[in-house]
Amino acid sequence: MLQPPVESGQFRSHAYLAALRQNSVVGSMGRVGAAGDNAAMESFFALLQKNVLDRRRWTSREELRLAIITWIERTYHRRRRQRRLGRLTPIEYETIHHTAADAA
């Protein structure tokens, strides 16, 4: 388990900050200890690690990239409840709306 940083200077490594600058990206900084700080991203990446990355060895970046995209589009997005869809999964939403459109 990762330990929270003791000082604010420990929050980001020099290598990480250099990578952000090199790619012209500005990192976000939430309050340390905020309840929902990175919970959604940590959950997503834990599922990705378990369901794609740890399943086998990948022979190329392209093969891994396609596996990640396929997992996101076929599994993750289809099962995840989405706020914009009234807390329904995309499949539930489409089923309800196609049934209503077919009845009209």
pLDDT tens-place string over residues 5-41: 555 554 567 887 888 889 888 776 655 555 555 677 7
Q: Would you say the pTM of this structure is higher than 0.85? A: no
Residue 82 is given by DSSP the state B
d(CA 90, CA 13): 38
Task: For 4, list phi and psi in degrees, rounded to 5.
Answer: -65, 150
Nearby residues of 52 by Cβ (< 8 Å), 6 or more positions away: 64, 67, 68, 71
| Domains of the chain, residue spans | 53-104
Residue 57, SS3?
coil
Does residue 102 have a pLDDT over 70? yes
Does residue 86 have a pLDDT over 70? yes
CA-angle at 46, arms to 45 and 47, nearest 5°: 90
